[in-house]
Amino acid sequence: MITTDIIANISAAIALGSAAVSVFAIYIPWKNVHDGEIFKEAIHALERAYESLTDHGKNISPPPADRLNWLAAARHLQTYKSLKTRLKTNLYSVLCEENEEYWRHQFYIALLRNPMHTVSYYQNGNIEPLSAVALFHFASWPNDKKDPLESIDLETLFSESEAMSMNIGLREYLKRFPKYGGET
């Protein structure tokens, strides 16, 4: 015979399991929607930062020495960084990193490709020092960031593609570099 205590315990366990399933059924979609919205706004912040600095892409290298443009761009970058830390899912974190690399390159082109900024450039534009530091920092490749190109296996790439293996010019060029199997 089943006692009422056993039935009560089984009922409680089933109720607890149902409650847990309900919580996950609500939380997981919420987390994805939450991250989707944060991700979109983070990317908009990067776009706004670049547009602010470069006058909507009209003046890229060098960008205008305009105090307000530099301040707005730096503030948008700080907003981006804050939003990025609020992401909860790996998918959106990876997507955010990929977009960050694209925008880092755009800022690099605007700020570091032709580093001809003189003291007078900053003084005449009355550029706020913190905004300049924030923008140049973002445009630079982080010292602690691993380059994804380092994981490429050249032999595998050449063996997987006939066009690659037939590219004599590229193979000869690579021979100039010990790192790629060339002579020292």
Q: Model's pTM, two decimal places?
A: 0.75
- Whether residue 123 sits in one domain with residue 181: no
The sign of the dihedral angle between the CA atoms of 19, 24, 25, 31 is: positive
* Cα 97 to Cα 171: distance, rounded to the nearest angstrom: 32
What's the whole-number average pLDDT of the chain? 85
- Whether residue 179 sits in one domain with residue 99: no
Which of 10-14, 46-50, 84-88, 126-130 shows the lowest mean pLDDT across its residues?
10-14
The 10s digit of each residue's pLDDT in 129-176 is 999 999 999 999 888 888 888 888 877 877 888 877 788 888 788 888
- Look up the domain containing 168 and give its range: 152-184
Please list, residue by residue across 66-88, b when 16 or more beta carbons sit within 10 angstroms of its beta carbon and e when fewer do: beebbbbbbbbbbbbeebbeebe
- Whether residue 89 sits in one domain with residue 23: yes
Q: How many domains does the chain have?
A: 2
- Whether residue 94 sits in one domain with residue 163: no
Which of 26-30, 63-67, 110-114 shows the lowest mean pLDDT across its residues?
26-30
